[in-house]
Chain A
Amino acid sequence: MHSFKAPPMKRADVRQLALKLRRELGMADRLWFPILEFAELALPQMDKNYSFEVVESSELGSSHGLTERIDNQITIKIRDDIYDRAYRDEGRDRGTVAHEVGHYLMHAKSPALHRHFGNSLRSFEDPEWQAKCFQGELLVPKHLVMHMSVSDVERLCGVSRDAAEYQLQLYRAGK
């Protein structure tokens, strides 16, 4: 068994990346990030080698999404049921799309992922941890939510209750 090791990125680095993206899009001060519009409409304009697809579960199986790189072509594939729910603004499924966008930004373009054998990875070198961290940081911007309730974060940022609780706990613990 092996996993993939990514160049190290701690939460602070991932937060900076998410904030940089929001700033570039003029969305630094908005609670709601239109993640589907970004992945489907904006990203293809910014990167001609990128595309977005919705695929049937027969193709993705138990995976909710996948970021695939073939030569220089990068594709985010989202399973059809997840896509439908993300379209209806379900927090958990918006999170899945944001997770794949994280893989696109941090891993798919970088040739530096390499196989890692042996001990378990440290979290800040684990691409899965980095993408999970990115989805939380992008959808729940720390600088806007510190004094908000879990329910308000859930509703206004469009994330699951679990995600809202998790991010707020982190932020309030000074992370």
Chain B
Amino acid sequence: MATKFGNLLREIRHTHAELLKDMADKLGVSPAFLSAVETGKKSIPAGWESSIAKAYRLDAMECEKLRTAIDQSAKSVSIDLAHQSAERRGVAVALARQFDQLSDTQLEMIKKSLFVTTNRKKDM
């Protein structure tokens, strides 16, 4: 079963009449690796969003679709902690450690503080 990202890559190949090997060559990986990313067996490598956008000359709308698919299919998220203050590092590490244990209320609070603009619109 392909992830959303996998399905999008298959759509792109179909549009360009390309096989796995053709796309894998453009991304500098093997067809087996690309296939494993499409089914979620392997993580989506960093930098693929821009490599794909560039290789297939995606327009703004297609790029947005690609970003959404990557967000929905990613198996892990990494946060670059270099050059971050001790306080920020602490928050990131605590969030990663306790993510599974967050209650619905805590999750809601985090969401509200992160997506405050969305909530404002809803309140109007």
Contact = CB atoms under 8 A, between A and B. Distances in A.
B39 interface: yes
B122 interface: no
A44 B19 contact: no
A36 interface: yes
Nearest to B1: A73
Interface in A34-58: 36-37, 40-41, 44-45, 51-56
Contact of B10 (A36, A37, A44, A87): A44
Contacts of B10: 44
B19 A53 contact: no
Contacts of A165: none
B53 interface: no
A29 interface: no
A51 B2 contact: yes
A51 B36 CA distance: 12
B31 A54 contact: yes
A108 to B, nearest CB: 15
Contacts, number: 42
A37 B36 CA distance: 19
B35 interface: yes
A55 B1 contact: no
How many residues of B sit at the interface, in one of the four size bands? 10 to 19
A55 B42 CA distance: 12
A13 interface: no
A83 interface: yes
B32 A36 contact: no
Interface in A51-74: 51-56, 73
B1 A56 contact: no
Given A37-B19, A87-B21, A45 B35 contact: no
Nearest to B32: A80
Nearest to B22: A87
Interface of A: 36-37, 40-41, 44-45, 51-56, 73, 80, 83-84, 87
Interface of B: 1-2, 10, 13-14, 17, 19-21, 30-32, 34-36, 38-39
- Please name the 4 residue pairs, one residue from A and one from B, whose CB atoms are nearest each other, closest first: A80-B32, A54-B35, A54-B31, A53-B35
